[in-house]
Structure 1
Amino acid sequence: MKIKLLSLLILVGCIGAQAQVQLHRAVTLMGSRFDITIVAVDSAKANQSISEVVSEIDRIERLISDWRPDSQISEVNKNAGVKPVKVDREVFELTQRSLYFSNLTKGAFDISYAAMDKIWRFDGSMKQMPSDEEIKQSVANVGYQNVVLDSANCTIFLRKVGMKIGFGATGKGYAADKGRALMQAKGVKAGIVNASGDMSTWGSQLNGKPWLIGLTNPFAEEENISVLKLNTEAVVTSGSYEKFVMFGGKRYAHIINPVTGYPASGLISATVVGPSAEQANGFSTSIMVLGKDAGIDLMKQFPAYAYLLITDQVEVIKSPNFKFKVKKRLK
């Protein structure tokens, strides 16, 4: 399910006696589109702030990208089964938090998913199901239990040759959170860092109203199923309705269970709202793999986060603390 910022314009206005502007810029970072919006005293300040956010996200990408050969995570992956690799404390702690999710969900979320063989294709080229043996082998090098952290030496070691770790699930959310934190530390009162749908917001729009975030109806993309009114919060959606294949009348979507190697089923989308985009993405990804019941049980432990789930039977489920109106009929 897509998340979109509603009514985003380049605006100029006045708050009290002080002129304000609201500017937006779209850039490609971490292999994805980032949309950065800043409310500032003038255009020069807004553009400078956007550039500072871009630099911060680029810095993070250089540390954690598993497709950049010179990143610290690439170095960790190259030395799988060979030796521990010393990393920056920031990278170590990000890995530590991802392993927390892996343990919490018993592998439904797994930082070592990056080693999974890409035997499922959702580009129209798949003509038959992979065999059970192919699926089993596809996850042979996946296993968060084999990621060893040494806090004293700040090292990461992957026990098995062929293992890899990656931050495809939480890296963009982390970058969005860091961009927001940087701006808040610099006194920028309001803005949004939108990392391809992983959104960190703070403050309010130029007109003083909350940021309006539309959640697309997965069964009718021209409609919103809900409009979120956010100030300093984050929102992330994981969804499976756009990329899938059909075999034997059954739908297999692109979110793969790293424990079994089979596509997750039961849910079309999971939206999570709370303080951190990194954490919200960890939750939304985990829920999609765990399914409705186990996902709800997981979220009961984290009351700072609210959720909206849509099942493949078009059932809409929201947590008691999901405070926004939701469209009753989706199709």
Structure 2
Amino acid sequence: MLAVKSISHNNSIIFRRSLRLMGDQFEISVVGNNPSWADERIADAVAEINRVEKLLSAFSEDSAINTINRNAGIKPVKTNAEIFKLIDRALQISELTYGAFDITYLTADKDNNSDNQNGGIAVKTAVKVSYKNVEIDAAAQTVFLKEPGMRISFAANGKGYAADRAKYVLQLQGVSSGVINSGGDLLTWGAQPDNEPWTVATADPSQENVPFANVDISNMAVATSVNTDKYATVIDKKLLGSFNPKKGFPVSKIKSVSIISTTAEFADAMATPVLSIGINAGLYLINQLNQMAAVIIDDHDRVYTSKNVSIN
């Protein structure tokens, strides 16, 4: 069911619908003046998010990701252009973050049957995997996971990609302004009904008390990663699939990192790496990138921003 947030002088209204998608709470908002039209547009966005979830699923027997994973250490797998480009971008982010972002993981230890020192007893030997063990061929459009037992997952940036795709579909359908809130991560375009820019607080009223609530995020995405424990080895929904726990260094001085970028996919992918590498290194990295900003809050509630963010 649609909920009306506000009415402006030009008769435009913000229609919102909340529902659970991709294992998280989504809220899709569109600006318009026709409830039936808004309902249809939000349904289009939901359909696209469901399509992306199915596309990125590692559990469906016939999914591209499952086929790539099943052939790890065996052979390259030809895939479609959408999956190939998504993997290619993920590998580029891994390079950019020196492996702090990584879509690869290992399902289990590898059996090592060398019996020279163990009397024929099978021994579990750790197999290290990383994005460097993913081989892609642009000409053949193939993906090869070099190590048996190696897997890839888009748990870290899949919801961001789905939000980007939903926005794209909505814009094609004539939605000139809106917000997609995926578990607190925001993607906005256009302006509010009164032609004011979207801010963090107007895009998500539950965040009206955060220090950067009034930051203009129109036509931008904001993704936040929260440090829920003293050490980066803790795996929560934001760390799963993106942080390499073998580094294991403490990040207790950071409470949260919010990344502002032009796409939800990139913002989502960058939030946890910045959390893991620390305040100084994280801000240095963000300051080298175009069309990207960061707001970091430490465990004393002090706020640090990249060079292109101003907070009053």
Give TM-score scaled by structure 2 length: 0.82
Aligned-partner residue type, residue 238 of structure 1: S
Aligned to 1:60: 52
Which stretch of structure 1 is more off in the superposition, 287-296 or 92-101?
A: 287-296
Contact kept? 2:283, 2:305, Cα under 8 Å:
no
What is the match of residue 234 of structure 1? 221
Matched, 1:158 2:150: no
Cα pair 1:176 1:198 within 8 Å, conserved: no
Q: Distance in 1 between matches of 2:303 and 2:6?
A: 39
The answer as to 2:7 corresponding to 1:20 is no
For each residue in 1:190-222, what CA deviation from the matched residue of structure 2 results, as whole angstroms up to 9, or x when unmatched? 11111112221011222322233249xxxxx99
Aligned twin of 1:296: 283
* Deviation (angstroms), 1:154: 1.4
1:264–1:288 Cα contact (<8 Å) kept: no
The aligned residue for residue 10 of structure 1 is 4
Identity %: 34
204-213 vs 162-171, greater mean Cα deviation: 204-213
Alignment of 1:70-85 (within 5 A): 70-85=62-77
Q: Which amino acid aligns with 1:32?
A: D
Partner Cα distance (2:311, 2:261) in 1: 13
In structure 1, how many angstroms separate the alpha carbons of the residues matched to 2:152 and 2:68? 8
Q: Show the counterpart of 1:49.
A: 41
Q: Secondary structure at the match of 1:224?
A: coil
Tell me, what secondary structure is at the counterpart of 2:37? helix
Gaps of 5+ in 2: 109-123
Q: Deviations over 1:64-87 (max 9, x none)?
A: 122444321122111111121221
Is 2:181–2:187's contact at 8 Å kept on the other side of the alignment?
A: yes
Aligned mates of 2:5, 2:258 — CA distance in 1: 29
Amino acid at match of 2:244: P
Alpha-carbon deviation of 1:60? 1.0
Query: Letter of the aligned partner of 1:100 in structure 2?
Result: Q
| TM-score, with length taken from structure 1 | 0.78
Q: Is the 8 A contact 2:129 2:147 kept in 1?
A: no
Cα 1:262–1:68 change in 2 (3 A) is farther
* Larger deviation, residues 65-74 vs 221-230: 221-230
Kindly state the Cα deviation for residue 93 of structure 1 after the two structures are TM-superposed.
0.4
The answer to whether residue 92 in structure 2 is matched with residue 106 in structure 1 is no
Aligned with residue 270 of structure 2, among 256, 270, 283: 283
What is residue 193 of structure 1 aligned with on the other side?
180
SS state at 1:270 partner: strand
Q: Which moved more, 1:166-175 or 1:206-215?
A: 206-215
Distance 1:214 1:253, change over 3 A: farther
SS at match of 1:156: strand
Contact 1:253 1:263 in 2 (8 A): no
User: Which letter maps to 1:84?
Assistant: P
Partner of 2:17, secondary structure, is strand
Q: Work out the CA distance in 2 between the residues paired with 1:214 and 1:13.
A: 17
Q: Which moved more, 1:33-42 or 1:65-74?
A: 65-74
Structure 1 193/78 Cα, relative in aligned 2: closer, same or farther at 3 Å? Answer: same
| Alignment-derived partner of residue 224 in structure 1 | 210
What one-letter code is carried by the residue in structure 2 that aligns with 1:161?
A: P
Q: Does the CA contact (< 8 Å) of 2:287 and 2:307 recur in 1? A: no
Per the TM alignment, residue 251 of structure 1 is displaced from its structure 2 partner at its CA by: 8.6
Are residues 1:309 and 2:296 paired?
yes
Per residue, is there more strand in 1 or in 2? 1
